[in-house]
Structure 1
Amino acid sequence: MGSDVFEVTEALPSLNDIKVHRLMCAELIKLINSVSKILPETEEARPGCSTGIGALCSLNKAIGKAKLLLQHCSESSKLYLALTGDTILTRCQKSTNLLEQSLSQLQNMVPVMLAAEISKIISDLRVVAFSLDPSEEEAGKVLWELLHQYRSPTDSTEETAFKAIQGATVRLHINSQKDLLIETRSIRKLLDKIGQNELPKRKILLFLQHLLKKYGKLIVKEQKETKLMQHEESIPLSSSSGQSVEVESRLLDRPDEAQSNTRSTPGIPEEFKCPLSLRLMYDPVVIASGLTFERMWIQRWFDEGHDVCPKTQKKLSQLSLTSNTVRKDLISKWCAKAGVTIPDPSMPAVYQPLETSSTSIASLSSSVNDLALPIDFSNSSIRATYAGQGSVTSHARIANGVRFQCIGSAHEIDLEILYEMDSLPWEYRCKVVKDIQSFWKHEDRSCSSISCENLIPPLLKFLKDADDAHDVEALRSGCLLLSAFVKKCRSSTIPCLEEDTYALLASFLDTEVAEETIGVLEVLSCHQPCDYEIAASGALHHILRILDKQISGLQEPALKILCNLSAKSRIRSFIVPADFIPKLVPYFDDSALAGYSVAILKNLCDSEDARAFLAETDGCIASLTKLLESDSQEDQEYTVGVLLSLCSQRIQYCDLVMEEGVIPGLVAISVNGNNKGKAMSVELLRLLHDGVSESEDCHDVIRDTSPHSKERKSSSKAIKTQLLTDSWI
């Protein structure tokens, strides 16, 4: 249980790690940092409507996609990055568009001061301009021209290939044997990651690998002899590290350079800026304090119930808004002179779809097979794709079971079968799935020979078809295969499925294949961004039903999923304490499941709502305190943590806890528990001691003051105080 409950925080790559497109990545890093700074406060604002939750999900997904893009630019091949420069440019633009759309939705659901911060970031996102580095763009063009020459190769093509790869490596600063080795390894890693069915990408990568293998040493040798070739004299040859330092000093250390024209234009008079948004005012109005604000922002301030000036914090005599026509006229004249246009802040942005580059890898997919590239497939797993083609039919091969082949010491699956699955008769498709599942039981290493792109699309199509056909056995086989695959995958290769896939899996939780499905969701719930998609898919509703009906065999994985999801602060808004806390109480008496249940409570008790529902739920505290005597020190620690979060907030909670006779258990944990348990139990004992004293003093004032009543209260107080005093001795 311990390793399942943790939250992964992915750090942004350093600019020094970015291999190509540093200018664009530097801008993207700045924007992600700006969004990440306001993200915790935005989540704390808890936009509770479905639109707000969806916008938060979209924002986190947009951040995740931007981080993946930065990671790609830090780990990929320099040659491949240059070749796909237009695609990277488009992805940067799409990332900023996604961030802008999500923030624009959230802007109207959060307090006005936070909304003003979001407005600044949205402005930055709208005006950021991505562009390719000229040298890197030229390297990409040279490689594209070389690829297209192989449509009809001639005797001079090989000579052209040498000149092209030589020019590209010079422009991309592949200058030494070490640089050449790093580039070769990067290409090899890309080949391992992409699917066997992504033939255009694979062929191009193999072609680049072939060029480096054939000409790499010669290129490095010539660059050592001549630092700069005669026909490339105009190309700057600063080292990669030097370029990184230059870019970093220009982009990351400059203050707020990538701002909108209304903010970056020098010499904007302060009186022309709204004190709330710090931006040029579009519709300035005066309030009772005599200060001028942007109409939209000050109106939102008043709509939130404020009756003071946001600048002076003095109470206003009235909340009327008066247009400041003089100020507006001055601003208009200044804008005309400075060439600045002020957008209406109340108007939503219009998003235009981005055009796909004509030089992207996808655009070459239809014709790449026509290129006569000099590729050596002998050392590539792509040979599995072509193995046996034309020798026997797919049906005949499947009739004898899915064919597996031994290549060297590793076993590989005949990937061609996966590509053809959709065109096969249903019974053969079922047999393919069962055979692969059976093979994996006996060959642990086989998972490395197949990627997400190979298996996931045909398998998900198989599951949808099986669901439509109400074929329970096929559904079970498909879910077992998917479960086996995600379990064998390394955490870095866990598949990121489409949104409708999570909804499909969630629907299976109410069918005969619930046990197989919940195993898949349990594995995925440990990883980002799968955890978010699970919570947003409606799976929590089905998990709640499983806990309520106490369905045997499903309870433990259901609790594990809840444990994993509740540990992530950005997902807790999906978990409604009033629904889930009462369902957890029966599991406190089950030694095998109590640990997961109390861990979920500990995660949820960060909010006052959860603490209140915990205190109000019948039998919850009583059942919880029994775990103080558990044999598991981890369960003891979580239990003390829950009780401590309660008692540290309200005296009434101290009384409820004291009524359950927790003192002996806490004293035992303070002596024999783990380090965290010891520290928290001592703190809880102190809080209970102080709470009892304060509570009794309050009761003495408001209760009956008869002599007998005083005697009883005095006796009760003495007993509680003595117990707590003894625990400290």
Structure 2
Amino acid sequence: MHSSMCLALKKLVDRVMKIFPEIEAARPGSSTAIQPLNEALEKAKLLLQYCSESSKLYMAVTGDDILTRGSRSKKLLEQSLADIRTMVPTALAIQILEVLQDLKSTELSLESSEEEAGKDIRELMRQSTSSSVSSDEIRDFHFAALKLQLSTPEAVAVERRSLKSLYGKLGECEGNKRQILKYLLCLLKKHEKIIWRDHKDNSLTLHQSSNDSVCAGVADAGCSEEYNATLPEHFKCPLSLTVMYDPVIISSGHTFERMSIQKWFECNDSCPVSKRILDDFTLQSNVAMKDQISKWCSKKGLDVQDPAMKHVNASHNLDFSIPSFSSPLYNISDLSCFRSSDISSSFSTESETEIRDSTHSEWEIEPLCELSKLPWNAQVKVVQDVRSLFEQDSKAARSMSPSKFIEPLVTFLKNAHERNGTDVVKDGLELLLTFLSGNRRAIDSLGEEVFEMLCVFLGSELVAEETLNVLEVLSNHPHSLSKITSTGSLSCLLKIAESGAENLQEQAMITLKKLCSSNEICLEMVSLGFVQKLTSFLQQNVFSKHSIIMLKNLCNTEKGRVCVTETPGCLASISDLLDSNVSEEVENAISILLQLCVEKIEYCYLVVREGLNIYSSLLLISNNGTEEAKVGASELLRALEEVEEVEEEEESSTPQEEATTSQKWCRRDKRLDWKLLATLSKNMRAMESLEVCSTLAHWETVLRVVCSALDREMNKKVPGRYVVSSWEQL
């Protein structure tokens, strides 16, 4: 229950547990420092255990409370990790920072079906005015049970045990909770017979020609052995609970009826069984399963009904499958106030409306299937008409077959490009954009020729904007990233960002930024010289926000980190962003420098050498930056200090030669500068609070005095070393 929330919370707990042994080994602060983290983990684990074992019905009713507990557990993990982060070594602090970022970016939520079920049951409890259960309550409860997957005898039995177990744990003082559980047990008990009856009746759905023959067939089924034969569970579709006519396998590995799963994917992006979010929505025929079902039906002398035929004849047939509106209540003898004829009439009316809408939709879209056979002017008119249809009905794309839509449209676009029909190509690309935006499954079916065509269109300034719009949508889909880059679009996008029209440059950078979320693409970008180009953007102060994010992603690869440190001016440009007024740029710049300094001591030397004012900038950020920037700046300063300590130890163990001494003081120049600035910063804040100095002249006097004293001290240690005074350097 609450699977989406629990999966998200469990993922966070697993992330914390992965680094927990290192945190324990680091012994941050004292034993009391790690105790809050232990308590937060324990509370999160208890909540996960409760959700896995407790009653689905009760958790649906108390869904808001469960969500609040989950959010509170997440917040406790954030707070405890944030406190510990300042007490551990830099390398471990970076790992904790990554976990903290995941915690902050994760939003816990309930699934819509669970929220609706909980709302329905709470409404039933509010409306219940007597100790007896009415027929309306049973009907509403049935629909709520379906939303919670309580549609089989096994699920009902487990739910009943969970409710009784929960009831037994409550004390006498918890009367309100006990009353809720009593009510739910009463509903479940009244409803259990219906679920058993539905489960038996739904063993097989046969195609009948009329309503009378269906009723007769059901009557005969009660006394016929062949109808009482048990249908194997794996022959049933988990969604429709009827025998599968055209079984297909989805990416999660589960098998469903093709029509049922297609309808499910129109409004959902998860597996109905595992609840796992899917990226791949392709359907693969389960030939082996279909053969088994066919043999079983032949042996029993039965025939499986085509769901498509059932849909067409819906106005003439009653559906006895469990999702049917009328089936669970049709067999209840004591529901005198609930007439099955009313349901049948309502069901028929809705079905006829669906058929009319479907026919109208097919009449509008079917010409696209044979688009290439029409005269050119007629093809253009059809594309414009379909575009108008999408503008009127944004959901129209969901019901269309991707293959029957994409292939003729791509052929049309290629022909339009050859005819130099710019406006026609624009219309076609806008239609493609609308279709892909409204039909996510279509993106999976796009072949290489589509991406090759888009790459060609990128080279044309006249249609580049429309092409970029399409690529931006595709770049949001993980499976499209490699296809985009394999056609050479990276170079085209970079060219547009460098020298394209002003209104297209930033859009190209946004698309490139999305593409570099993949490490494989990052490696290709490094090979194409992206680091040099991004460095140029930073030096010109254009697209800095996008460029620094891309450099940060490129640094996630070893090849990218090496290239960043070896590219002239790159580290200096990144360091310059420490003085930026845009907090996001500052945070990303610190993240890159910190990642480099933690990995290799050589990178620390490069960072200090390239970043002329890095110490003063970091000191300023650690005092006045955003919360994240302050933490990062402090970590980076600490990393540089650790490098200095290692360097000093090495110097103390090395023979004191003249050349070595000279090099040693050269390396210490920047270290002295930043320590001087740190001292001055503290003194200035103290003097400012005491109102000792109130003018710029006073500050200058103080600085000159301190610099003069520093020069005297340095010349005592290395006579003649400091030709230029500290004041002139400052």
TM-score, scaled relative to structure 2: 0.47
Which structure is higher in helix share? 2
| Structure with greater contact order relative to length (CA < 8 Å, sep ≥ 6) | 1
Q: Which protein shows a greater Rg?
A: 2
